[in-house]
Structures are given as structure tokens and as C-alpha cells.
Structure 1
Amino acid sequence: MNQLDTILTLIAEMHLDIETLETRHSDRLDFHDVAVWRIKEALHAAFMAGCEVGLQTPKASEAEIAAQP
């Protein structure tokens, strides 16, 4: 599981009470009733996680940007 999948799975568990984002080929396991405020919380958490990752990611130098085709 890559970093993005791990983050999204944690958000789904914490905010939506969904234990996995893997398809399990069962309506009972793959479809969930979720309140809109919980979806909003999950989206906010995903946005904030993206901001954190962006802050930790090294930025390209001017030379690297200029070298791109």
C-alpha cells in the first residue's frame, strides 16, 4: 500500500467508519450510508493531509524547472 492509499484508508476509517477501501464485491460491504457532515469532515481531512504532504515535499529549484521540456 502506498502513502496515498494509507492516508485515504485512515481517513475512511476515522471519519466514515469504513474499514477498507478495497472492493469486496458485496453490496453490503462496498456501499455505505454516510451523513453529509461526515463526508465534509473526511474531505477536510484529505485536504489537510495533502497540504501537509505538500509542505514536506522538496520544491524544484529554478534550474530544475527551467530544464523541463
Structure 2
Amino acid sequence: MPRHKPNADAARDAELLEIARRQFRIETLETRNRDALDFHDVAVWAIRAALEEAFEAGRRAGSTDTQP
């Protein structure tokens, strides 16, 4: 089982939030229990761009995890 750095989850969450802010102009990824705040119309090209950013962030994180 891989070991995670203590702040790995916090760093991942911060990266995801930054992608959401950049690509979707969403201010938080926390549930706010209001449809107007929790559901968003998003263009497919923005979804693709966000997925590409997340994939590259994962690739970068993976390459640093394998370094001694």
C-alpha cells in the first residue's frame, strides 16, 4: 500500500480547487445544499481542459513520488 505524505490530500484538494476556479469559475468545491450553488452549466471544452489539467497534475505528482 503506498504511503502518502501528511499533506498530500490537502495539496490534492487545493490543486483541484484551483483547476475548478480557473476552468469553471467555481469558488468552492464544498457542498452548500442549494441547487443554484451546487450545480453548474459547464461547456464540454471546459470539462476537457479541466480533466487535462488534473491528469497533468497527477502525472507531475506521480513523478515526484517516485524520486528517492
TM-score, length basis structure 1:
0.80
Equivalent position amino acid for 2:22 in 1: M
Q: Which runs of 5+ in 2 are unaligned?
A: 1-8
Q: Which runs of 5+ in 1 are unaligned?
A: 61-69
Shift of 1:3: 1.1
Match of 2:55 among 20, 32, 47: 47
Equivalent position amino acid for 1:17 in 2: R
Counterparts of 1:40 and 1:19, CA distance in 2: 19
Q: Does 1:6 align with 2:4?
A: no
Counterparts of 2:60 and 2:67, CA distance in 1: 14
Structure number with bigger Rg? 1
User: Percent identical across equivalent pairs?
Assistant: 48
1:12-34 deviation per Cα after TM superposition (whole angstroms, max 9, x unaligned): 00111111100001100000000
Match of 1:27 among 14, 26, 35: 35
Counterparts of 1:47 and 1:38, CA distance in 2: 14
Between the two proteins, the alignment pairs up a number of residues equal to 60
SS state of the match for residue 18, structure 2?
Answer: helix
Match of 2:26 among 18, 23, 27: 18
Aligned Cα root-mean-square deviation (Å): 1.6
